[in-house]
Amino acid sequence: MKTLFFSLLLTLSSVADNLSWRGDYDTARKEAVQHEKALLVLLVKAKEVSTHKMLRELFADRPYLKTFQSKSVAVLITYEHGADYPVELYYTTRFPALFIVDEDERFVVEPLYGEEITAQALRELAKRLESR
């Protein structure tokens, strides 16, 4: 399972060159706090085809990714590998799920789930992050 998780991260690294994904929640959170940025948490099921499609279509070469890069620290968590993030905070049965939290792990915006994660929704989130 770890191999699948790391191959997903490698795929993202090569495709989404505008957004640096972290694979460890605690490290990403510490970095976000240190740099006074929001924490962007993307929780996915690695084996779902829709996950890979969404990552390719919405997290590669999009203008809003520059805002996410400058205003947040992004962490990708696979549900199957889930022991390394606070499950009680990000509990969901709908995947993928996108959460943006502040340094106290309070939601900056309402979470997005599944088909709610669209280019338009991500553009709007980027605008909200710019105004923080």
Q: What is the pLDDT of residue 86?
A: 75
Cα–Cα distance, 65 to 61 (Å, whole number): 7
Query: Domains of the chain (ranges plus CATH)?
Result: 2-130 (3.40.30.10)
- The arithmetic mean of pLDDT across residues 88-104, rounded, is 89
| Amino acid residing at 115 | E
Q: What is the pLDDT of residue 127?
A: 96
Q: What is the pLDDT of residue 83?
A: 60
Kindly report the average pLDDT of the chain as a whole number.
85
pLDDT band at 109 (very low <50, low <70, confident <90, very high): very high
Q: What is the pLDDT of residue 18?
A: 66
- Which tens digits make up the pLDDT trace of 1-43? 454 444 455 444 444 456 899 999 999 999 999 999 999 999 9
Please say if the pLDDT value at position 84 is more than 90: no
Cα–Cα distance, 87 to 34 (Å, whole number): 23
- The arithmetic mean of pLDDT across residues 75-101, rounded, is 84
Please say if the pLDDT value at position 57 is more than 60: yes
Cα–Cα distance, 73 to 27 (Å, whole number): 10
Q: What is the pLDDT of residue 14?
A: 43
Helix (H, G, I), strand (E, B) or coil at 102: coil
- The arithmetic mean of pLDDT across residues 43-66, rounded, is 89
Cα 16 to Cα 3, 63, 73, 110, 122, distances in angstroms: 19, 11, 14, 24, 14
